[in-house]
Amino acid sequence: MPFKPNFSKIAGIINVSRNSLDDYFSYMEKAGLIGQLRNETSGILGLAKVDKVYLDNTNIIFNLVGDQSNIGNIRWAFGLNY
């Protein structure tokens, strides 16, 4: 399911700096693995505010969880890509 990330907590779990984690998520987004949905905050503050993270391709969802995938998650990923 798309989730609202806590970047500080994720950075602590995988033992990287908070700034590096932002870069890693950006690289994964550019590679087409994930999508980051940002809120409507304008200006420079809007760049850092990620509202949700989702898998960018429905095929990735099926490969990770198979038949146990959530249809709402698949619709969410498909709808945001088109």
This prediction has a pTM of: 0.72
Residue-wise pLDDT tens digits, 46-75: 555 788 888 888 888 888 887 887 787 787
Residue 59 domain-assigned (yes or no): yes
Residue-wise pLDDT tens digits, 5-53: 888 899 999 999 988 988 899 899 999 888 888 777 655 555 557 888 8
Total tally of structural domains belonging to the chain: 1
Query: What's residue 5's pLDDT?
Result: 83
Residue 2 domain-assigned (yes or no): no
Distance CA 26, CA 5 (A): 13
Q: Where are the alpha helices (DSSP H) in 4-70?
A: 7-14, 18-30, 45-48, 58-65
- Indicate the residue type of 4: K
Residue numbers of the domain that contains 72: 7-81
Query: What's residue 13's pLDDT?
Result: 94
Hey, what's the torsion of the CAs at 16, 22, 26, 27, to 10 degrees? -20
Residue 1 domain-assigned (yes or no): no
Residue 61 domain-assigned (yes or no): yes
